[in-house]
Amino acid sequence: MKRFNFTRLLCCLAVAAAMLSAHAAGDANPKSGSPYDIIPIPAQIVASQGTYTLPAEGVKVFVQGAASSSLADYLKASALQASAEKSRSKANIAIVIGKKGKKPAPAEGYTLTITPKSIAISAATEAGAFYAVQTLLQMTQQGTLRTIDCCTITDEPRFPYRGLHFDVSRHFFSKEFLLKQIDAMAMLKLNRMHLHLTDAAGWRLQIDRYPRLTSLAAWRPAETWQQWCDGGNQYCEQTDPRAHGGFYTKDDIREILAYAEARHITVIPEIEMPGHSEEALAAYPEVSCDGSGKGSDFCPGKEATFQFLENVLTEVIDLFPSHYIHIGGDEAGKSKWKTCPDCQRRMKEEGLKDVDELQSYLIERIERFVNSKGRDIIGWDEILEGGLAPNATVMSWRGTSGGIKAIKAGHDVVMTPGEFYYLDHTQDAPFKEPVSIGGYGSLEITYNYDPADPSLSQDELKHLLGVQGNLWTEYVPTPEHAEYMYYPRAFAVAETGWSRAEDKDYSHFRPRAVALCAQMQKMGYNTFNLANEYGNRRESLAPVDHLAKGCKVTYNNPFSKQWPSQGATTLTDGILGGWTYQDHKWQGLLNDLDVVIDLGKLQDVHYVGASFMHLPGPGVFVPRMMEVELSADGKQYQSIGTVWNDIDDKIPNLLFKTFSLTCNRQARYIRVHAQNGKAFIFVDEIIVN
Q: Which of 165, 171, 196, 276 is catalytic?
A: 276
φ/ψ of 470, rounded to 5, equals -115, 130
648 catalytic? Reply is no
HSE toward the beta carbon, residue 11, CA cutoff 13 A: 24
Name the strand (E) or helix (H) holding 393. strand 393-396
How far apart (Å, rounded) are the C-alpha atoms in residues 137 and 78?
8
- Parallel, antiparallel, or unpaired: how do β-strands 147-155 and 202-203 relate? unpaired
C-alpha span between 50 and 35 (Å, rounded): 13
| Pair 477, 225: CB distance under 8 Å | yes
Nearest to 672 by CA among 635, 645, 641, 636: 641
Closest CA to 75 of 36, 30, 126, 125: 126
Please return the burial class of 60, using the count of CB atoms within 10 Å of its CB with bins 0-12, 13-18 and 19+.
middle
SS3 string of 95-110?
EEECCCCCCCCCCCCE
Q: Report residue 457 CA to chain centroid gap.
A: 25
Alpha-carbon gap, residue 429 to 432, rounded angstroms? 6
Q: 199 catalytic, yes or no?
A: yes
Residues 153, 135: contact at Cβ < 8 Å? yes
CB 625 within 8 A of CB 615: no
Q: Which of left, alpha, beta for 129 (phi over 0: left; psi -120 to 50: alpha)?
A: alpha
Q: Which residue of the set 315, 331, 356, 376 is catalytic?
A: 331
Considering the candidates 37, 155, 199, 367, report the single residue annotated as catalytic. Answer: 199
- Alpha-carbon separation of residue 294 from 59, 83, 282 (angstroms): 61, 58, 7
* 331 classed as catalytic: yes
Q: Choose among 565, 556, 631, 539: nearest CA to 591.
A: 556
Please list the active-site residues: 199, 276, 331
